[in-house]
Structure 1
């Protein structure tokens, strides 16, 4: 199906936070999803997802890039982020270290993104677990997201909870940025506001 908007979305986060599982979930539940092969330095599969945005009647075509475990070797560079209109930054609510590394991924996004208005959503995965299994509470994650000026959502690939919704939310944000008039020196919503001085050392784990 043809779409007036064809946008690139990248998915980042520590190794093992269910990035690929979330993409597999949206592929199996969407009736408008095609999987194409993208031969490149990082992505060997590119998911073509047609998302219904609340801002437009026709579907929006998302070209979603997965890291294909390259983040495990710290090898993501500007080539992966180049041209992206939107980004999902994931962490696992059951692993404190993946939450602590969010500032690392947001700094990379700010440094390498070629779109100054790149839309971003912070996503907590495995929200189906019990409160006792969580190492990061919902309230704590929301507070962090608010501190960097970004929206926050929680998903569960295992139970297919909010998976489609998170892509729809990102699509709305992207279209809003693409269609609005740019205003210099004005802070826009859903933008990374992390300063370069805030970049921490990443806590790499063997998960």
Structure 2
């Protein structure tokens, strides 16, 4: 079997916003039954057809690194941040603080080599504007936001604007939210294509060996009982 190239996408956000449920929905096209807390990092893998339907179509592995959001592990998270080819910022639509904290999360990833503590990363709009790493902003618990009449579903995320990023809002308990042909599915595919484009076609940072199988991962990979 020919080797399939891969990209690493970090999925970050506050604890409890639904990162694990989101990753499971994306990778398995169905909701997760009972997600647990993510301790450290959990990795899921998805096959993606780059530029599907065109002469450039090619299959890639997407590694979605679900990073635990607990503040108690803030000082050790940076071991999962190198390299990074794309970032999914996740917030809870019913929790404004989780949206405000997306700046902190992106700053933490972008400044991953500084080894500061969780409160030591400064928000720098110019750094965000000049960032070349593809970013996607995802708001979860859209169903709860509707019931609470939160005025968030039609509001464009300021973080998404600053990063020039696409944004989707969804309910991770509904597989139709990412059904083929849906707006969310199109935006996800476009984001994944952008990550691959940056990694393999514009001279972005090296990931290392391109050879992998379904269950061959970086030495940093480990998987614990997870939640999110």
TM-score normalised by structure 2 residue count: 0.63
1:162 paired to 2:174: no
Residue matched to 1:46: 43
Provide closer, same or farther for how the CA distance between residues 162 and 2 of structure 1 changes in structure 2, counting only shifts above 3 A. Answer: farther
- Residue 171 of structure 1 is matched in structure 2 by 192
1:67 aligns to what? 67
Is 1:149 equivalent to 2:164 in the alignment?
Answer: yes
**Is 1:121 aligned with 2:136?**
yes
Unaligned runs of 5+ in 2: 31-38, 114-130, 205-227
**Structure 2 matches for 1:1-207, cutoff 5 A?**
2=2, 4-29=4-29, 42-43=40-41, 45-54=42-51, 56-71=56-71, 73-112=73-112, 117-129=132-144, 131-133=146-148, 135=150, 137-160=152-175, 161-162=177-178, 165=185, 167-181=188-202
Q: Structure 1 residue runs of 4+, over 6 Å off?
A: none
Deviations 1:166-201, CA, capped at 9 Å, x for gaps:
542321111221344469xxxxxxxxxxxxxxxxxx
Unaligned runs of 5+ in 1: 31-40, 184-206
How far, CA to CA, are the matches of 1:60 and 1:6 in structure 2? Answer: 6
- 8 Å CA contact retained: 1:81, 1:109: yes
Task: Assess if the C-alpha contact under 8 Å between 1:124 and 1:154 holds in 2.
Answer: yes
Alpha-carbon distance in 1 for matches of 2:96, 2:61: 34
Range moving further from structure 2, 97-106 or 163-172: 163-172
CA distance 1:89–1:134, shift in 2 (3 Å): farther
Greater relative CO, 1 or 2 (CA 8 Å, sep 6+):
2
Q: In the alignment, is the contact (CA less than 8 A) between 1:124 and 1:155 conserved in 2?
A: yes
Q: Residue 170 and residue 133 in structure 1: after superposition, are their counterparts in 2 closer, same or farther (change >3 A)?
A: same
Q: TM-score, normalised by structure 1?
A: 0.68
How far does residue 70 in structure 1 lie from its aligned partner after superposition? 4.2
Native 8 Å contact 2:15 2:68 kept in 1: no
CA shift at 1:53, angstroms? 2.6
SS in 2 for 1:137: coil
